[in-house]
Amino acid sequence: MNGFDGTEFMGQTVKPPDNPSVMGRGAPRDLRISRLQRALGALASLKLTLAILAALGGGTMVAYLSEARTTWALVLPLAAFSVNLAAAVATNPVFRRQTALLMFHLALIAIVLLIAVGRLTYLKGQLELAQGQVFDGQLTQEESGPWHPRRLDAVRFSNQGFTIGYAKGMRRAATRNQVAWTAPDGRPRQAVIGDQDPLILEGYRFYTNFNKGFAPVFVWRPRSGASPQLGAVHLPAYPLHEYRQAQEWQPPGSRSPLWIMLRFDEVILDPEKSSEFRLPTEHRLVVRAGEARRELKPGDAMHLAEGVLVYQGLRSWMGYTVFYDFTLPWLLAACILAVASLAWHFWRKFSARPWNPPVS
Amino acid sequence: MAGFWRLAIPEGPVRRLALGWLGLGVGALGASTVFGLWLLIARTPYLSRLLGAGGGFHTALVLHVGLSVLIWFLAFACLLWTLAQHRYPRVGWGAFGCCVGGALLMLGAPWVGGGRPVMNNYVPVLDSPLFLAGLGLFAGGVALQAAATLVGGLGRRPGQSGAALRTGLYLMAVTVLVAMVSLGASWATLPRTLPAPAYFEALFWSAGHILQFAYTLLAMVAWLWIGGAAYSGSPWARRAGVVLFVLTAVPLMAVGWIHWNYAVISPEFRTAFTRLMSYASWPAAMLLGGAVLLGALRNRGPEPRQARRGLGLAVWLFVTGLVAGALIRGDNLMVPAHYHGVIGAVTLSLMALTYRLLPELGFPGPALRVESWQLRSYGWGLLLWVVGLAWSGSQGIARKAPLGGQLPGGLEAVAMGMAALGGGVAIASGLGFLALMSASLVGGRNAILGVLPPWRRGAAAGGARVDHRLLAAVLTIGLILAGGIAVSRVSGSGPNRWPPPDPRLEPVRHAQRARETEIGQRFQQAVAMLHAKQYEHAAVALHRVLELAPALPEAHVNMGFALVGLERYGAARDFFISATELRPMQVNAYYGLAIALENLGDLLGAMGAMRTYLHLARPDDPYRRKAEAALWEWQAALDAGRPKTAANPER
């Protein structure tokens, strides 16, 4: 090597240290490896696997039955299971030779870890938007993992209206809901989403759900001089609550509640034939404030003690389910890999031929 | 004397640490190559449609740059520092742990925390706490290793082995630490109120430029390690090599002076660092590259001919990158042509050096023929890529933007096709490098354990143990990552792409996007200049914004404020009025108009404008109180018959 023998360093010959303690924390290397192996062996114990599976079963029951937050009841057994499995992979010699079997087990570890991470970071929720209303990051119902990275406040989209077909017998067909939002590059975007086709913003998947109904829109002009406000009141879901299209509502800043009921005579969804969800062509809105009762048409105003209520018209509202779990694509990939590697393993196992077949 | 141009590699923990750094660097390069493939698809005619509009382009770009330029280069620097000086192995392991943790956080940030990609120069970032924490952790690890190298080297007289390389490596450690200090100084003085693109651009501007000196030193070390024996014909030449290292690092003495004299946000600061890099970072490297190349052409020295071919291509790439840099005339694809040439040269040099290091680290290298093919294909692919980008840039195609289904015509298509072809070859070759490295590392590990790799199992009939765990782990993680990304792309791009883009409109949209990009950049520059009270520069930037978007009311308002800063109140008044005509609810235009009118002596007009401002402004508007005070004082001044300025206390 032209004057370089590979062991020369700073003009001196480099030798391995005589004292093994130079290399570590005081214990001889073999001893440390032996301790590590014993620890790994204990972690890889099948008895421990059984205990963890029992704990996982218990955690699942708790999660199923409990009303309280139960994330850790699942996450801890899952994390312990992944450690147990990893220790088994590290210590069991069979995994050194059988690539496919090892890949199956590694994929299982990945699945367990991904499920645990998914439980820590997921979010499920519900929201309702009237036609033309913009989502402002607020959910009506919500459950989420403790480590959920909350980015809903950065999400904005608007409900631009929807169509839902109903087959004979009032069987609901596909929902087609047009939504609009502004893309990160500043360009306006539109999409049609449905029960199975989500709008995906910031990792959140917004699906339409079966909830939808009518929403009278009002302008409330308080007598106090505060600025007028525009808002919609969501009546109970239609047709689920077809005969209960009423709602109690309190105008902003007002102390007295109003009772509102939508009345219309026509049949919107006919069980005898195919139909489509739509707004009634003619309707009346009954408003009760204490003893006073008025039937309003669009444009009518009702003078109340605390302000003037102007009925603007009727719109529809749509219910959405929002879901966040960033692990799902990787979970699917890990599942496919687990199935494929197990198939590979068994294919090799059962297609093996003896190297010295018997001579007939 | 070949030992003058290389470092001895000791056994034991130091070698393991060096291997760790190599693994981190190669892993980062591998991940960067995957993201590079993503970017290539997004920029290739027809193929770009696969990713849809946007297609995560900017996030992939941030990760590609961070992994390839920062992590791969600096991890390799840490590897060489570990070999140069290893008095503090525990500190080295600590630094390694920080860097690995930081790299994982950066890589995981888009999948966990999201974050808006910010396309600032040199160190583009995701504006998420996770990514920034990862970046900080990685930088801390590198600084720790650099400091340990320098402290370990203090007071030690260099021996014969690698004396010249040590000089280069110590200077590189100093350069990296100077970059860190400069970054800290920028961070301490930058106003946090700047918008993210302007903030990160200013934050990384000085450190990014200083790091280019470190990368140049890194390439020079690699060139001398590979071709030093061929180059060093005489003691004079050896001394000249050391001098060239010093000449590369000495200009950095100006860094302190620049920080002392100019504000971080000022244009003079930007220009000073640009000029420092443009004029001082490359001449010594060019001289050294030329000398090493000449030596290699004479076919002297013990190194294999194939290695010297890689070295030659690296030097040519470096020169091509410099030529592209000299041809930059705007913010277009000529810019990436420049830095891909230079950075590609460093990467190619490090790849060639990795092949030389493998046997010395105890791992079998690939066959020389295979090594030569890999290096040459990478070098030629990058050359094609650089030339294609430069050609595209000469036609004014914007950078940092995907094609998004657009079909360029004529020469544009040829140029971009050439770039795509070159990029594809380079990426394929990069993947080949990773495959060779994996084979070598897995094979080497099995050799150390007394077993053979799977493809040599036939030879293991004597009962040797076979261990596939590393291979299986790499395969599993790789397949899950790739599968997950593929699934998320497919499942995350369904209805969001509705309605489908109209191909007839795409060229128009592309031009529009390029214009919008420039408007955004110029506007942010102008805002930063206004914050720094650099009104003349702000006016220049806003002038360009108004050329591109004459109906942008915010630009009219800011131009008005820039002109107020320049005390050109008549022109400012006109801009404020035009802003209110464009958008009657543009609240701050009325405030500016009031100030302009006040300074023109029209107190009645100023009061009218200020009252309109108060009428429109939100109750929590921070300027409301100042506006009310101004109105009161103007009224008092009118009553007393003497004009007075109150709305703008700086005057």
SS3 A159: strand
- Residues B197, B201, B202, B205, Cα dihedral to 10°: 180
Q: How many CB atoms lie within 10 A of CB A80?
A: 19
Contact at CB, B1 and A334, closer than 8 angstroms: no
Question: CA of A307 to nearest chain B CA: how many angstroms apart?
Answer: 23
Residue with tokens 């240290």: A17
Compute the distance between CA of residue B508 and CA of residue B481 in angstroms, rounded to an integer.
36
Q: Looking at the structure, do residues B333 and B376 belong to the same domain, yes or no? A: yes
* ipTM of the modeled complex: 0.72
**Residues A172, A166 contacting (CB under 8 angstroms):** yes
- The nearest alpha carbon in chain B to A2 belongs to B2
**Residues B280, B217 contacting (CB under 8 angstroms):** no
Compute the distance between CA of residue A133 and CA of residue B113 in angstroms, rounded to an integer.
28
pLDDT by residue for chain A (360 residues), tens only, comes to 333 333 333 333 334 444 444 344 455 656 666 777 788 888 888 888 899 989 988 888 887 777 666 778 888 888 898 899 888 888 888 777 788 888 999 999 899 889 888 888 899 999 999 988 889 888 988 888 888 888 888 888 999 889 898 888 888 888 899 998 887 767 778 889 998 888 988 889 999 998 999 999 888 888 887 778 888 899 999 888 888 899 998 888 888 889 999 998 888 888 888 888 989 988 889 999 888 889 998 888 888 888 889 898 899 999 999 999 988 888 999 999 999 999 998 888 887 766 666 665
SS3 B342: helix
Tally the residues of chain A.
360
Tell me the β-bridge partners of A259: A248, A288
Asked whether residue B491 is domain-assigned, the answer is: no
**Backbone φ, ψ for residue A210 (5° rounding):** -70, -15
**Backbone φ, ψ for residue A245 (5° rounding):** -85, 60
Q: Looking at the structure, do residues B26 and B119 belong to the same domain, yes or no? A: yes
- Establish if B632 touches chain A: CB-CB under 8 angstroms: no
Pairing of strands B125-127, A158-167: unpaired
Asked whether residue B326 is domain-assigned, the answer is: yes
**Residues B498, A181 contacting (CB under 8 angstroms):** no
Contact at CB, B468 and A97, closer than 8 angstroms: yes
pTM of the model: 0.53
Pairing of strands A229-232, B116-118: unpaired
Contacts of A33 (CB under 8 A, 6+ apart): none
Tell me the β-bridge partners of A229: A220
- The nearest alpha carbon in chain B to A195 belongs to B495
**Backbone φ, ψ for residue A334 (5° rounding):** -65, -40
**Nearest by CB: A337 against B10, B161, B480:** B480
DSSP letters along A276-333, please? E----SS-EEEEEETTEEEEE-TT-EEE-SSEEEEEEEEEEEEEEEEEE-TTHHHHHH
Q: Looking at the structure, do residues B479 and B596 belong to the same domain, yes or no? A: no
- The nearest alpha carbon in chain B to A193 belongs to B495
Contact at CB, A9 and B491, closer than 8 angstroms: no
Residue type, B233: G
Q: Which one of B160, B468, B491 would you mutate to disrupt binding with A, by most A Cβ within 10 Å of its Cβ?
A: B468
**Residues A326, B112 contacting (CB under 8 angstroms):** yes
Compute the distance between CA of residue A178 and CA of residue A130 in angstroms, rounded to an integer.
12
Tally the residues of chain B.
651
Domain definitions of chain A by residue range: 28-121+328-348, 124-323
**Residues A217, A314 contacting (CB under 8 angstroms):** yes
Give pLDDT, residue B494. Answer: 41
Buried b (16+ CB within 10 A) or exposed e, B442-474: bbbbbbeeebbbbeeeeebeeeeebbbbebbee
Contact at CB, A4 and B513, closer than 8 angstroms: no
Q: CA dist B303 to A335, B7, B108, B436, Å?
A: 48, 15, 40, 20
Contact at CB, A8 and B3, closer than 8 angstroms: yes
Give pLDDT, residue B32. Answer: 87
3-state helix/strand/coil string of A318-335: EEEEEEECCCHHHHHHHH
Look up the domain containing B351 and give its range.
Answer: 304-450+471-483
Q: Looking at the structure, do residues B145 and B35 belong to the same domain, yes or no? A: yes
Tell me the β-bridge partners of A176: A163
Q: How many CB atoms lie within 10 A of CB A333?
A: 24
Asked whether residue B426 is domain-assigned, the answer is: yes
Side-chain-facing half-sphere of A323: CA atoms under 13 Å = 15
Compute the distance between CA of residue A84 and CA of residue A90 in angstroms, rounded to an integer.
10
Q: Looking at the structure, do residues B407 and B475 belong to the same domain, yes or no? A: yes
Closest Cα partner for B436 from B346, B379, B482, B368?
B368
Compute the distance between CA of residue B278 and CA of residue B143 in angstroms, rounded to an integer.
25
Asked whether residue B387 is domain-assigned, the answer is: yes
Residue A239: asked if its preceding bond is cis (omega within 30°), the reply is: yes
Contact at CB, A107 and B9, closer than 8 angstroms: no
Compute the distance between CA of residue B4 and CA of residue A271 in angstroms, rounded to an integer.
92
Domain containing residue B521: CATH number: 1.25.40.10
- Name every chain B residue with its beta carbon within 8 A of the beta carbon of A106: 472-473, 476-477
CA angle B326, B327, B330 (to 5 degrees): 115
Q: What is the DSSP letter of A134?
A: B
Residue type, A80: A
Residue type, B569: Y
Contact at CB, B8 and A14, closer than 8 angstroms: yes
- Establish if B469 touches chain A: CB-CB under 8 angstroms: yes
Q: Looking at the structure, do residues B101 and B27 belong to the same domain, yes or no? A: yes
Asked whether residue B256 is domain-assigned, the answer is: no
Asked whether residue B27 is domain-assigned, the answer is: yes
Contact at CB, A183 and B54, closer than 8 angstroms: yes
- Radius of gyration for the alpha carbons in chain B, expressed in angstroms and rounded: 28
What's the number of domains chain B is made of?
Answer: 3
Contact at CB, A333 and B466, closer than 8 angstroms: no
Question: CA of B455 to nearest chain A CA: how many angstroms apart?
Answer: 13
Tokens matching residue A360: 């007939």
Q: Domain end: B156, B189, B214, which one?
A: B156
Q: What is the DSSP letter of B398?
A: B
Domain containing residue B386: CATH number: 1.20.120
Q: Looking at the structure, do residues B433 and B574 belong to the same domain, yes or no? A: no
Compute the distance between CA of residue B362 and CA of residue B15 in angstroms, rounded to an integer.
9
Q: How many CB atoms lie within 10 A of CB B134?
A: 24
Buried b (16+ CB within 10 A) or exposed e, B356-385: bbbebbebebbeeeebbebbbbbbbbbbbb
**Backbone φ, ψ for residue A262 (5° rounding):** -95, 130
Compute the distance between CA of residue A198 and CA of residue B321 in angstroms, rounded to an integer.
45
- Establish if A155 touches chain B: CB-CB under 8 angstroms: no
- Establish if A188 touches chain B: CB-CB under 8 angstroms: no
**Residues B528, B194 contacting (CB under 8 angstroms):** yes
Tell me the β-bridge partners of B127: B116
Contact at CB, A203 and B466, closer than 8 angstroms: no
Q: Domain end: B156, B173, B194, which one?
A: B156
The H or E element that residue B180 is part of is helix B163-189
- Establish if A203 touches chain B: CB-CB under 8 angstroms: yes
Tell me the β-bridge partners of A129: A318
What are the 10-residue block averages of pLDDT along chain B, 651 residues in total?
66 83 90 80 61 66 88 94 84 92 88 76 87 93 93 65 81 94 91 78 92 93 78 64 88 91 84 88 87 69 62 86 78 79 91 87 78 88 87 64 49 73 84 84 52 40 57 84 78 45 46 71 80 83 85 88 90 89 81 91 87 81 85 85 48 34
Closest Cα partner for A337 from B473, B479, B474?
B479
Asked whether residue B579 is domain-assigned, the answer is: yes
Q: Looking at the structure, do residues B408 and B512 belong to the same domain, yes or no? A: no
SS3 B332: strand
- Residues B206, B212, B215, B217, Cα dihedral to 10°: -100
The H or E element that residue B408 is part of is none
The H or E element that residue A186 is part of is none
Helices (H), B113-162: 129-153
Closest Cα partner for B29 from B541, B432, B461?
B432
**Residues B37, A37 contacting (CB under 8 angstroms):** no
Compute the distance between CA of residue B566 and CA of residue B529 in angstroms, rounded to an integer.
13
Compute the distance between CA of residue B233 and CA of residue B229 in angstroms, rounded to an integer.
8
Q: Looking at the structure, do residues B441 and B554 belong to the same domain, yes or no? A: no
What is the C-alpha end-to-end distance of chain B, expressed in Å?
71
What is the C-alpha end-to-end distance of chain A, expressed in Å?
60
- Radius of gyration for the alpha carbons in chain A, expressed in angstroms and rounded: 33
